[in-house]
Structure 1
Amino acid sequence: MRNRSAAAHHDAGAVFDALGEPVRREIIARLHGGPSPVGKLADQLTVGRPAVSKHLRVLEGAGLVRHESHGTRNLYALAPEGMVVAQQWLVGMWDVALAAFADAVDEAARQQRADDVPIEDPGEEDS
């Protein structure tokens, strides 16, 4: 399929904005089964064909779907490279979260070791 999206490079913000709407996520899920025309998608969703077309334009603008025209019929399909943007963002966030967690564990371990060191009471005398 040929990508007819105007934007060649997509950012994570556009991808997550597009995926923030439940109907759009449902469209993405439906397209996992392969390319589909707007009418078939509309038949499977709770919104009408005009709304599905608008959602598809948003998803296409974010680089998540692409379409190909066959006469008067437009087939929409997933654009896997669009999900790569989201995946890379999530991996980056996960790496930051894991590093922060590791730092917190190290600090807790250092604190525990400091708390375990016996402190001699200068007032006690050895007998």
Structure 2
Amino acid sequence: MKDILRVHTGRVKEVVDLTDRIESLISRAQIADGLCTVFVTHTTAAVTTGEIGEGTEQDFLEVAEQIIPRIRFRHLHDPSHAWSHMAASLLGPSLTIPVSGGKLILGTWQSIMLVEFDGPREREVHVAVIPA
């Protein structure tokens, strides 16, 4: 099963929870066990897992700001968003999550997050579920 999620972000930096949308795809595909791959096709957005709620999204974005220094970027195309490219590259464009019993295998507080670093934009997130 393959599908594309179109995600509209509303801010320059934002965390979007994709978990329910991806679980819905798995349910509709009726895949009980396998692997779910999530891939964002943009160089200024990333996907990862983490906790969502009670301000943790803002904490996550603040940590990203602290980890990646503001240097004199050499990015010729548009230096104003060079930082966004670095942040997305460090987090990465993809995840692979096990599926069992038709559900994603995630920890109690773990969610699948799209991390926007250069919005607002429409992002394409490709989801593929490979049956076991």
Quickly name the TM-score band, shorter chain normalised.
under 0.3
Task: Give the alignment's TM-score, normalised by structure 2.
Answer: 0.24
Q: Which has the larger radius of gyration?
A: 1
Say which structure is richer in strand.
Answer: 2
Higher helix fraction (1 or 2): 1
Structure having greater relative contact order (Cα 8 Å, sep ≥ 6): 2
